Amino acid sequence: MFLQIVGIWLSASFCDFHGTSHVVKFTPSTSTSEEFSSDEHSISTEVILQDLNPKKGKWSPLPGKFSALDHYIDKCRREIDQMHLKEKCNQYNLPRAELAALRNLRNRSDVVIRPADKGGAFVVWEKELYLNEAHRQLSDGRFYQRIPSIPEDATKSNQETVKAFIAQAIAKQELPQSATNLIVQHPRKSKLYLLPKIHKPGNPGRPIVSACQCLTELLASYLDKVTAPFVRGLDSYVKDFGHMLTILNSLRFRGEHRFIFTMDIKSLYTVIPIDEGLRALKHEVMDPPTHTLLRMAELALTLNSFVFNGEHYKQIGGVAMGSKLGPNYACLFVGYVMVNGGRLWLCRGTHVARLYRNKTRPVQKIHGRCGWSGFMHGR
């Protein structure tokens, strides 16, 4: 696991701190896991499963009850009728030259146009560079494995595996009858694409696997909703930047300088070993029964083949970015490691932070003390 360290000095005038420990234990002012397990905060399995298969509403307000509403609806209908939606629109808000340039750029086969990973910009990427970056990452045998083309019967076989698991869980009353909503009726193959990281040297790509309508999409959606309360219940949970500022403002330093540093875990989603990730899930007491949830997570993590540029691959480590399971799975894993690694940290996403009282301690020595990275995945 690769860590990038950024340091910040906090002076005694910033805040005062009560205590003598060399490591500050943070207690965010959020609900505990016990609170989230109560009926008030938890969402029932039945509700989650029903939400996975929403039905189109047929309700329409009855005319004659609210004259203002009737007038608004009538006006909307008349305006829509005047729009001639079946006719092709020939009006554009761009000059002809700019419109022609955009169409020419869109139709070029030697470039790939993607939104930047951060910043909101759009990037025109030379196709050869795009393919080289993708193959560089996919050639890493620790995380990806190239496989022969995926026949249709293999997709159907994997779908039968999911169906058999759900049917068995329903028969054992570990899942309700509505768990059939977890089955994707007409699954398609997942596809990988890259988002350019223009804020980093070399402009590497962030691999995203488009999981829309794929075999395990609904399993991942269900697991995302089930695990969300347990992420919020982690001792190290930090909701957002505002929450972090609230925590920092509550610290009290007296007469000393402190050094706070953060570490960014490189490619966290990819480097999480599947067995360690499942162990982190098992560590939480969840409903439905843990073994049912673990099997569901195992299916979502292992039935993960995808296509890139006509070639077929399988992700053999970590969780794919693009899977709805990814964020909560990664947070629970890092939270589990922080607790069991014997250190107290703050965490949000892939960023962890720790406070030291001795400002003279070199950053290199701090980096050397991060032994928990080896604990995570044995590297």
Reported as a single tens digit per residue, the pLDDT across 314-372 is 888 888 888 888 888 888 888 888 777 644 344 444 444 444 443 334 444 434 444 43
Q: Residue 11: pLDDT above 80?
A: no
For residues 127 and 110, the answer to whether their CB atoms sit within 8 Å is yes
Is 3 within 8 Å of 374 (Cβ atoms)?
Answer: no
In this predicted structure, the answer to whether residue 262 has a pLDDT above a threshold of 90 is no
Q: What is the pLDDT of residues 283-306, one digit of tens each?
A: 765 556 678 888 999 999 988 889
Question: Which pLDDT does position 284 carry in this prediction?
Answer: 65
Q: Mean pLDDT for the chain?
A: 75
Residue 112: helix, strand or coil by DSSP? strand
Per-residue pLDDT at 171: 92
Higher pLDDT: 237 or 44? It is 237
What angle do helix axes 290-302 and 217-232 make, rounded to 10 degrees?
130
Q: Is a pLDDT exceeding 90 seen at residue 194? A: yes
40/328 Cα distance (integer angstroms): 21
The pLDDT assigned to 110 comes to 93
Render pLDDT for 206-217 as a digit per residue (tens, 0 to 9). 999 998 888 899
Give kind and range of the element (H or E) at residue 129: helix 127-138
- The whole-number pLDDT of residue 304 equals 85
Q: Which CA distances in Å does 267 have to 63, 207, 304? A: 56, 10, 18
pLDDT of residue 341: 60
Q: According to the model, what pLDDT value does residue 3 have? A: 40
- Asked whether the bond before 63 is cis by omega within 30 degrees of 0, the reply is no
Q: Measuring CA to CA, which residue among 28, 43, 29 is closest to residue 227?
A: 43
Q: Band of the pLDDT at 54, cuts 50, 70, 90?
A: low
Q: Report pLDDT for 72.
A: 92
Q: Is residue 274's pLDDT more than 90?
A: no
